[in-house]
Amino acid sequence: MTNLVWLIPAFPLTGFVLLLVFGRRLGEPQAGWLATATVSGSFLSALGVFFGMATKPPEERVYEITLFEWIPSGELSVGLGFLADPLSISMVLFVTGVGALIHMYAIGYMHGDPNFSKFFLYLNLFVFAMLMLVLGDNLLITFLGWEGVGACSYFLISFWHEEPANATAGKKAFVTNRVGDWGFMVAMFLLFFNIGSLKYSDIFSSVIEADALTQTTATGIVAMLFIGAAGKSAQFPLYLWLPDAMAGPTPVSALIHAATMVTSGVYLLTRMNPVLAEAAGWSIDMIWIIGLFTALFAATAAVAQNDIKKVLAYSTVSQLGFMFVAVGSGLYVAAIFHMITHAFFKALLFLGAGSVIHGMHHEQDMRKYGALRKAMPITAFTFIIGWLAIAGIPPFSGFWSKDEVLLAAWNENKVAWAMLLLAAIMTAFYMSRLVFMTFFGEKKWGIPEHGETEEETDTDDDGTHQITPHESPTVMWIPLVILAGLAATAGLLNLPFSYGTKHLEHWLEPILFGNEVHVTASGQTKWILAIIAIVGATTGVLAAAFVYLKNRSLAKQIEHSVLEEAWRFDSTVSNFMGGPGRKSFEATTLFDQKIIDGAVNGVGKVTQRISTKMRSLQTGLIRSYALGMFIGAVAVIAYFVSRMGF
Amino acid sequence: MEAVTFFIAAIVSLAGACGVVFLRNPVHAALSLVATLFGVAIHFINLEAYFLAAVQVIVYAGAIVILFLFVIMLLGVDRAESIKTDPIIGQRQIAVLAVGGILVLGALIGVAFSGDVTGVPPESAQKSTYEGGTAINSDHVHADDEIRPDENIKNIGRALFSTRYVFALEITALLLTIGVVGAVVLTRRPKGELEPLPDDDPPAIYQDDTTNLNVEVTEEEHSDTTEDLKLNELEIEAPDETEVSSE
Amino acid sequence: MILGLSIGPEYYLALSALLFTIGAGGLLIRRNPLVMFMCIELMLNAANLAFISFGKEMEDLGGQLSVLFVLVVAAAEVVIGLAIVVAVMRRRPKASIDEVSVLRG
């Protein structure tokens, strides 16, 4: 069945083309169901490939197929091919699975939107690009997908582009990604220059068997790859775009900014682990240090946010930081495990938040929420499961994967572990804050504010002077339930208890080429660390419960405005680009105009002036011309006379 | 004898040349050109080119100069032009310099080659005209240098129709035909109104205050004579005349 | 003494040079188009004289034949030149060649 791997990206591509041509005619909701069907078809093909692979022995689980030669250019020969191996199939499974669920959810969420089919068109294109990224058998196909998801991210974030803030957010995402893409491209150039091929199999065999890369080159490549990964996976300082990207519709946030696109960076580094193994220590240390810093930084910012989606956005940045800590410490399996569980619970949380927003008629400020669990029971129930998962409460999946990451940090550096634990406690705190403010406590909706009349508080126009939040339609809560189930049980993938339960580790072994670092801690240490983590998470939950359910006044001290503005980093960058940055750009433009254009135009002007002077020779008078000819004849004869010998 | 003839003819030619250049009246200039042409014909005879001397007189002095005189009379340019100043700045001075320069260079060349003026005679001069060559004296029967005018024309005839020159001869026939056709075409009266020549400012190098006066004077005088010509060119002037006469 | 002087080609060439120079000077100085033409004829005659004298020196009829062709061409040139003069100067009876300066830049 593995030779069906080409079907996996073919389905969403077909969906994209069909929606491009027929989308408007299909209308709502047929366009949405078509899109969902294609992604589900992709998922089923992926399942087929997975079963085909699983039935084979581990050595044979790598399958390459090249469809045709894409770029035959001298020494560079790049083919359009797919590489189906354990890592890519794992990613494909959760990308298409979660993607299909989100497509279904979006049919309900985008109900009534005038550009309904365009949304699904972009979503399908995005899934196609993501699949190319994951399934490509060489770096250039991955880059194609990389750029594709960046472009689709731009389209989807600025979907409601009539609002200028949305368009700006889309632009910001694209430009920030581009900065990272530069790093990716330089890494590609370095790899091609040193190895001569961009295909993963060629690169790995050269690096492992033929030692083709010096340590310096490998270090450079890793640094550049990390820049690319930081752009896509929103690490400091290229995280700026992710909170602003919440301007897009919630299904977009769920799909792109929680489950799939932002994980591309982690995927890339895991895929290139042989190159990372050759690099010098400082570049690898840089990866986990930046990951750790990002995790803490984003966690502190999430504590003070009032927009429900912004909390989740900073939470995503923080959790990505966790994954990079694992990658930097050499425990790639932990990173992938956390990526998978994060996909499930973060998508669940985002979709749940979307459900809340939908039910509250597009109100996103959490200060207007409260006691929603009675009004939206299914949403509340699934959301709580997601909350427990991300907080790290056993037996939900988040606990197991976060524990692996903390173990990776402990293995690397004890101080790093302590800081990461602090970040985990803060995660529990702010997520609990979110849940308590939204679903518990007193209700803050439907109460007229100072100066508002009773009619103005009636935002659902049913004649009563209260907003009545309602539960979402079926097509929206079915994905929530499925994701909740996955978030609860995904921990089974890689339970640490014994060798036999570590399924993910065995599964990913062929692609790791033995580069997985083994944790040197004893079993007892691991138990202690796990208990400390549980205690920390519970403390966070209880602290949030105390502040937000009992004594709200403490909240002001915690939610410092600096935290809300994410330490004012974003505004600093904007001011810099707007101020000195713009001045330097204008100076460059001026240089181009005055000097370069001036030189070119100057040549023209000089020619004009010379020719104006020469024009005076053309008098039109015959006798002047005759004189000129005569003088010329005299000159020629004089020349010949001067050469005669006397 | 040859020397006496040479010097007399030389003086005549040079006098005629100076006359062409310096006489103000064009008809006088044409007549002194005739004098020069005659002088040159005598030189030809001195150089034993008898046929060409005759051709020179007949064609040049007898046809071309007559043609010149026809045109002078036709256009009425029988008035003198002022030769004192030259409207183009610097023309005269530079012309004198150039002419002087040519003379100096010519003298230098003459000095350089004194004693060995000519080079090697060409190969075709070895053969007589009977054999397709171009030797001047084909009949070596006459050993002495007697004057034989009829031999010259016979030799020229034979040499001209040899392989070397016959093509050129045919082309000259064509050339003359083209000349005739061209002359007829160029001098046809145009149908309809002719556009006036543009009357822009003259170029900076041309400074002339005197000609305008002359133009005014001679135009009035000429309106009588040109009345006889076709009137469609002179539509501008005809109403003026009627106005003048009505006043 | 002067009667016995043998006139070599140098004399004829010197005369030819003088005639040519005078003709060139006249061409540059005179303003009447017809007189300029006559100066051109002077120059052509000077060239003919040189041809004939060289021909005599080399004992080659080529000199005389060349003069014949020069004569033909001069005749054709005069015909066309005078036709042009007539065509241009017809409307300006008192014409100087300086007034025909339309082709200037």
Those residues with Cβ within 8 angstroms of residue A589's Cβ, 6 or more apart along the chain or in another chain? none
Kindly state whether residue B101 falls inside one of the protein's structural domains: yes
> What are residue A69's DSSP bridge partners?
A79
Kindly state whether residue B200 falls inside one of the protein's structural domains: no
Kindly state whether residue B154 falls inside one of the protein's structural domains: no
Q: Which residue of A has its CA nearest to C99?
A: A621
Which percentage of chain A shows pLDDT scores above 90?
Answer: 25
Q: Record the pTM.
A: 0.63
Q: Contact at 8 Å (CB) between A82 and A5?
A: yes
Of B84, B110, B144, the last residue of a domain is B84
pLDDT tens figures, A306-326: 888 989 999 999 999 999 999
| Contact criterion met (CB < 8 Å) for A644 and B109 | yes
Kindly state whether residue B2 falls inside one of the protein's structural domains: yes
Q: What is the ipTM of this complex?
A: 0.91
A155 three-state secondary structure: helix
Token pair belonging to C7: 């006139």
What pLDDT score was predicted for residue B241? 41
Kindly state whether residue B198 falls inside one of the protein's structural domains: no
Cα radius of gyration (chain A): 31
Q: A619 to chain B: which residues are within 8 Å by CB? A: 203, 205-206
What pLDDT score was predicted for residue C80? 94
Count Cβ atoms below 10 Å from residue A403 Cβ, excluding itself: 23
The verdict on A627 touching C (C-beta cutoff 8 Å) is yes
Check whether residue B13 and residue B80 sit in a common domain. Answer: yes
Kindly state whether residue B28 falls inside one of the protein's structural domains: yes
What pLDDT score was predicted for residue A493? 80
Average of per-residue pLDDT across C86-103 = 74
Check whether residue B59 and residue B112 sit in a common domain. Answer: no
pLDDT tens figures, A449-465: 554 444 444 444 444 44
pLDDT tens figures, A90-137: 899 989 999 999 999 999 888 888 888 889 999 999 999 999 999 988
Cα angle value A613/A617/A619 (rounded, 5°): 125
Token pair belonging to A452: 């508002």
Cα radius of gyration (chain B): 26
The chain A residues in contact with chain B (CB within 8 A) are 616, 619-621, 623-624, 627, 630-631, 634, 637-638, 641, 644-646
pLDDT tens figures, A57-88: 877 777 888 888 888 887 788 888 888 888 89
Average of per-residue pLDDT across A408-435 = 89
Token pair belonging to A99: 């993607």
Angle at which helices B2-22 and B26-46 cross, to 10°: 160
Q: A621 to chain C: which residues are within 8 Å by CB? A: 98, 101, 104
Cα angle value A161/A162/A165 (rounded, 5°): 65
Per-residue pLDDT of chain B (247 residues; tens, 9 = 90+): 788 899 999 999 999 999 999 988 889 999 999 999 999 999 999 998 999 999 999 999 999 999 999 988 887 665 556 667 777 777 888 888 889 988 888 888 887 777 665 666 777 766 666 666 677 765 554 445 555 667 788 888 888 887 778 899 999 999 999 999 999 998 887 777 666 666 667 777 777 655 444 443 334 344 444 444 444 444 444 343 443 434 3
Higher pLDDT, B149 or A161: A161
HEC string for chain B: CHHHHHHHHHHHHHHHHHHHHHCCCHHHHHHHHHHHHHHHHHHHHHCCCHHHHHHHHHHHHHHHHHHHHHHHHHHCCCCCCCCCCCCECCHHHHHHHHHHHHHHHHHHHHHHCCCCCCCCCCHHHHCCHHHCCCECCCCCCCCCCCCCHHHHHHHHHHHHCCCCCHHHHHHHHHHHHHHHHHHHHHCCCCCCCCCCCCCCCCCCCECCCHHHHHHHHHHHHHHHHHCCCCHHHHCCHHHHHHHHHHC
Count Cβ atoms below 10 Å from residue A49 Cβ, excluding itself: 26
Q: Contact at 8 Å (CB) between A83 and A136?
A: yes
pLDDT tens figures, A519-576: 777 778 888 888 888 898 998 888 888 887 776 766 666 667 666 666 777 777 777 7
What pLDDT score was predicted for residue A629? 92
Quote the CA–CA distance of C63 and C55 in Å, as a whole number: 4
What pLDDT score was predicted for residue B141? 46
Of C30, C37, C45, the CB nearest to B36: C45
What pLDDT score was predicted for residue B116? 64
Average of per-residue pLDDT across A468-491 = 84
Check whether residue B22 and residue B54 sit in a common domain. Answer: yes
Check whether residue B110 and residue B72 sit in a common domain. Answer: no
Quote the CA–CA distance of B20 and B246 in Å, as a whole number: 45
Complete domains list, chain C, with CATH: 28-96 (1.10.287.3510)
At B12, which CATH number? Answer: 1.20.120.1200
Check whether residue B4 and residue B80 sit in a common domain. Answer: yes
Kindly state whether residue B56 falls inside one of the protein's structural domains: yes
Quote the CA–CA distance of A33 and A11 in Å, as a whole number: 14
pLDDT tens figures, A506-517: 888 777 877 777
Average of per-residue pLDDT across A621-643 = 89
> What are residue A76's DSSP bridge partners?
A73
> What are residue A71's DSSP bridge partners?
A78
CA distance B215 to chain A (A): 19
What pLDDT score was predicted for residue A454? 44
Average of per-residue pLDDT across A140-149 = 92
Quote the CA–CA distance of B227 and A337 in Å, as a whole number: 115
Check whether residue B26 and residue B101 sit in a common domain. Answer: no
Check whether residue B64 and residue B78 sit in a common domain. Answer: yes
Residues 578-617 of A with CB under 8 A from C: 615
Those residues with Cβ within 8 angstroms of residue B86's Cβ, 6 or more apart along the chain or in another chain? B92, C29, C31
Check whether residue B74 and residue B100 sit in a common domain. Answer: no
Full residue range of the structural domain in which residue B97 is found: 89-118
Q: Contact at 8 Å (CB) between A227 and A182?
A: yes
Quote the CA–CA distance of B133 and A152 in Å, as a whole number: 94
Number of independent structural domains in chain B: 3
Q: How confident is residue A624, by pLDDT bands cut at 50, 70 and 90? A: confident
Quote the CA–CA distance of B216 and B30 in Å, as a whole number: 27
What pLDDT score was predicted for residue A504? 81
pLDDT at C7 over 70: yes
Question: What percentage of chain C's residues is helix, strand, coil (to nearest 5)?
Answer: 75, 0, 25
What pLDDT score was predicted for residue A295? 92
Of B4, B172, B226, the CB nearest to C69: B172
A550 three-state secondary structure: helix
pLDDT tens figures, A342-359: 999 999 999 999 988 888
Kindly state whether residue B4 falls inside one of the protein's structural domains: yes
Cis, bond preceding A395 (omega within 30 deg of 0): yes
What pLDDT score was predicted for residue A152? 92
Cis, bond preceding A274 (omega within 30 deg of 0): no
Check whether residue B111 and residue B68 sit in a common domain. Answer: no
The verdict on C103 touching B (C-beta cutoff 8 Å) is no
Check whether residue B14 and residue B80 sit in a common domain. Answer: yes
Token pair belonging to A46: 């992926």
Write down the H helix ranges in A546-621. Answer: 554-558, 561-564, 569-576, 582-591, 598-615
pLDDT tens figures, A6-30: 888 999 999 999 989 888 888 778 8
Q: C97 to chain A: which residues are within 8 Å by CB? A: 622-623
What pLDDT score was predicted for residue A375? 82
Q: A631 to chain B: which residues are within 8 Å by CB? A: 94, 98
What pLDDT score was predicted for residue A41? 92
Which residue carries 């940090």 as its tokens? A409
